[in-house]
Structure 1
Amino acid sequence: MVETKRRHHMALRVGVIGGGQLARMMIAPAVELGLDIRVLAEGEGMSAGLAATAVGDYRDLDVVRAFARDVDVVTFDHEHVPQDVLRALVAEGVAVHPGPDALRFAQDKLDMRARLAELGIPQPDWAPVRSARELQDFLDAHDGRGVVKTPRGGYDGKGVRVVGDPGEAADWLDGLADGEALLVEELVPFVRELAQQVARRPSGQVASYPVVETVQRDGVCAEVIAPAPHAVERLTEVAEEIGVRIAEGLGVTGMLAVELFQTDDDRILVNELAMRPHNSGHWSQDGAVTGQFEQHLRAVADLPLGSTAPRSPWSVMINILGGPSEGSLGDRFESAMAAYPEAKIHTYGKDPRPGRKVGHVNVSGEELDDVVYTARAAASHFD
């Protein structure tokens, strides 16, 4: 094993920075693997509070350093820990997975686009823009439309605008500091969105999951179908090849999710990256031999990776977005469980709020239409 310190007579201690639902869903597999999981939460009452051993600001080096002192390997619930904090940990001998050299490509979309171009990975046309003139030039070259993104901090549709005129991004352009730029991309004529997940250990072993189809609503993932329907063998091969090339080319350790566009002329283009468990992989908790949360822990602890084979021909994940307008999520459990005992319901310990991800439902089975219907019906109990 490399990097992580093997501890005799004691469990390997995995520290997760971030107390959201992704950290929460690492708790059960950590216990089953015999790992000691600890969480640095941003505040009291976070989703992963069951394993929170510290509360503090992940941007504060002293806070993160103190947390890391009591674990054997550090990993993440999100990609927002600053580079200077990450690099200080690495300089002090802390095992960090994914490391800062990889994580920066999930933190900065301009860096990501430039690096993927160097690797020859297919992606939309793109450019950095610092002025209305530069943005207009890009729009003129791409049929008058483009997707403008803030390079850092955007997720779930935030920090993304489809524009046809530079004035629609004027506030972002005016807010740029010296040396900063926005990212503009071509408006891709896609027929659907896909996601490819790959796990990679520090020692190099790689495991790929089946490519899945994702359905977005208002910029937020609403449904995932695994595997992607009507995915011909060549498409699955290309998606897996892209995922593995990125994982190896960027030096990712842990789970990597590659969000993809399938275009109307059957190209596969990379949209965005996430270096952690990802919404597109929640189906695997119940639908694959090894769920993504267990796989992430195996990978960052440099343990042998598990099988990614599906347990059933089809699995569908439906996000519970917002939650009930009246009452609590808990009030809806009994009716959903009674009506659809085959559904696996996961909640995040969050209060309902419009648009907020508060849980998800997984259903697996033999017939796709039946699986989709059951998953949607079970999730509807939480509306």
Structure 2
Amino acid sequence: MALRVGVIGGGQLARMMIAPAVELGLDLRVLAENEGMSAQLAATAVGDYRDLDTVREFVKDVDVVTFDHEHVPQEILRALVAEGVEVHPGPDALQFAQDKLVMRSRLAELGVPQPDWAPARDAAELQAFLDAHDGRGVVKTPRGGYDGKGVRVVRAADEAQDWLDALADGEALLVEELVGFVRELAQQVARRPSGDMVAYPVVETVQREGVCAEVIAPAPAAADRLVRVAEGIGRKIAEGLGVTGMLAVELFETDDERILVNELAMRPHNSGHWSQDGAVTGQFEQHLRAVADLPLGDPGPRSPWSVMVNILGGPQEGTIGERFAGAMIEHPSAKIHTYGKDPRPGRKVGHVNVSGDDLDDVVYVARAAAAHFD
């Protein structure tokens, strides 16, 4: 019988695990939150991942559980583990992707470079941090934020007063120094339960309005030291937190030549979409190999350069499907991936991958192919 891998969450990441699961001979099963989600082709159940009975019913027929997102509550994850279910990444690791304050504290214990930070329980604590950091800071809600949500740059504590007022007893916001960075990077590693690990090339990510718009692999003009430091940070975090599966470490390259950890994701990640077509082993196959404790694949690039451009929003008129032919005719080297989502302003509805020898040409083709879906 094929190994049965259960994915909690029916979004685009689960959708993109379907093809590599088939190729690896794995039986992929998905618990989707709603009917008609991106991964509906593999959705064997629909229900609330926050309900223990629903999750218990789903995992009865799987050998290992993994995730499309980090939002499954800790009490449910720990209940599964206590009942003997293989969960990767496990709750002890996933907690650090679920709560940014917990993450910052643990990374400090590991000696990983990161921005100055502090918990802010009230306006006085927040203002004290701002006063000590040139009157500016980045305030984050510790849980639930993504794609720029739950993040504010503030210059006075009252600019986050609504978030402070919403805190329950014992809760705090996270405040960080406003880092002067020259670019954002991402380092991905994959780790098996046995401890074996591989690292992908460090990549440059381009953000627009808090959303990842483009990824260049490998990061241009990356000195050997930067490559070594980024990979070392990724490996140290994966091992130190006990991550199993894919880990993405978002990084800042600062104007004073530091490499600092921004955030973590313990799953396939937008910064690794390029690897679907540009690496020997794409991140979705690699994640399945890792959580199933299969030998890891070669993460090396197939071409000198790969560029991923997100399709954001989708066409204002007509459907996404109507745009495929034009993009394919004009840009036959482009690999187009869509998520089965309806167009909506700012929504990630797909991405385009292009690889080649000349970076300027690769960037041009990727952007031009993605523009067909505007």
Task: Report the TM range for the smaller structure's normalisation.
Answer: over 0.9
Mapped to 2, the partners of 1:286 and 1:60 lie a distance apart of 37
Residues 131-173 of structure 1, C-alpha deviations (whole Å, 9 max, x = no match):
1111110000000100000000000000000000111100000
| Structure 2, unpaired ranges of 5+ | none
Q: 1:152 aligns with which of 143, 149, 157?
A: 143
Number of the residue aligned with 2:80: 89
The answer to whether structure 1 residue 52 and structure 2 residue 43 are counterparts is yes
1:179-258 matches, cutoff 5 A: 179-258=170-249
Using structure 2 for the length normalisation, give the TM-score: 1.00
- C-alpha distance after superposition, 1:18-55 (max 9, x if no partner): 00000000000000000000000000000000000000
CA distance in 2, matches of 1:111, 1:131: 18
Structure 2 equivalent of residue 3 of structure 1: none
| CA deviations over 1:77-111 (Å, ceiling 9, x no partner) | 00000000000000000000000000000000000
- Residue matched to 1:34: 25
Secondary structure in structure 1 of the residue aligned to 2:35: coil
Question: How many angstroms apart in 2 are the aligned matches of 1:160 and 1:328?
Answer: 32
TM-score (norm 1): 0.97
AA aligned to 2:28 is I
How far is the alpha carbon of 1:224 from its aligned partner? 0.0
2:184 and 2:358 map into 1 onto residues whose CA distance is: 22
Q: Which sections of structure 1, spanning at least 5 residues, go unmatched?
A: 1-9
Deviation at 1:266, TM superposition (A): 1.3
Say yes or no: does 1:262 pair with 2:282: no
Structure 1 residue 265, shift from structure 2 partner: 1.4
Task: State the shift of 1:351 in Å.
Answer: 0.1
Q: State how far apart, in whole Å, the 2-side matches of 1:111 and 1:84 are.
A: 16
Per-residue deviation, 1:277:
0.1
Aligned to 2:262: 271
Partner of 2:337: 346
Aligned partner letter, 1:39: V
Per the alignment, residue 356 of structure 2 pairs with 365
Question: 2:369 is matched with which residue?
Answer: 378
Counterpart of 1:161? 152
| Structure 2 counterpart of 1:46, one-letter code | M
CA distance in 1, matches of 2:368, 2:49: 39
Report the 3-state secondary structure (helix = DSSP H, G, I; strand = E; otherwise coil) of the residue aligned with 1:47: coil
- What RMSD over aligned residues (CA atoms) do the two structures have, in Å? 0.3
Partner SS state of residue 361, structure 1: strand
Structure 2 residue corresponding to 1:142, chosen from 133, 141, 147: 133
Where does 1:65-76 land on structure 2 (aligned, <5 Å)?
Answer: 65-76=56-67
Tell me the residue number matched to 2:69. 78
Name 1:19's counterpart in structure 2. Answer: 10
1:196 Cα offset (Å)? 0.1
Distance 1:264 1:216 in 2: 17
- The letter of the residue matching 2:209 is D
Deviations 1:290-316 (A, max 9, x none): 000000000000000000110000000
- Give the whole-Å Cα distance in 2 for the aligned partners of 1:168 and 1:318: 34
Q: Distance in 2 between matches of 1:372 and 1:182?
A: 38
Report what 1:6 is aligned to.
none
- Between the aligned partners of 2:43 and 2:365, the Cα distance in structure 1 is 34
**Distance (Å, rounded) in 1 between the aligned partners of 2:257 and 2:9:** 38
Question: Residue in 2 aligned with 1:4?
Answer: none
Partner Cα distance (2:193, 2:326) in 1: 44
Give 1:280's match in structure 2, choosing from 271, 275, 280.
Answer: 271
Residues of 2 paired with 1:209 and 1:97: CA distance? 20
- Partner Cα distance (1:217, 1:42) in 2: 28
How far, CA to CA, are the matches of 1:17 and 1:342 in structure 2?
A: 33
1:299 has 2:254 as partner: no
- 1:229-284 deviation digits (Å, cap 9, x = unpaired): 00000000000000000000000000000000000011100000000000000000
Q: Does 1:111 align with 2:107?
A: no
Q: In structure 2, what residue type is equivalent to 1:165?
A: A
- SS state of the match for residue 45, structure 1? coil
Give the corresponding residue for 2:118: 127
Q: Which amino acid aligns with 1:81?
A: V
Supply the distance in 1 between the matched residues of 2:197 and 2:80 (Cα, whole angstroms).
Answer: 25
Name the SS for the 2:352 alignment partner. Answer: strand
Amino acid of the structure 2 residue aligned with 1:177: A
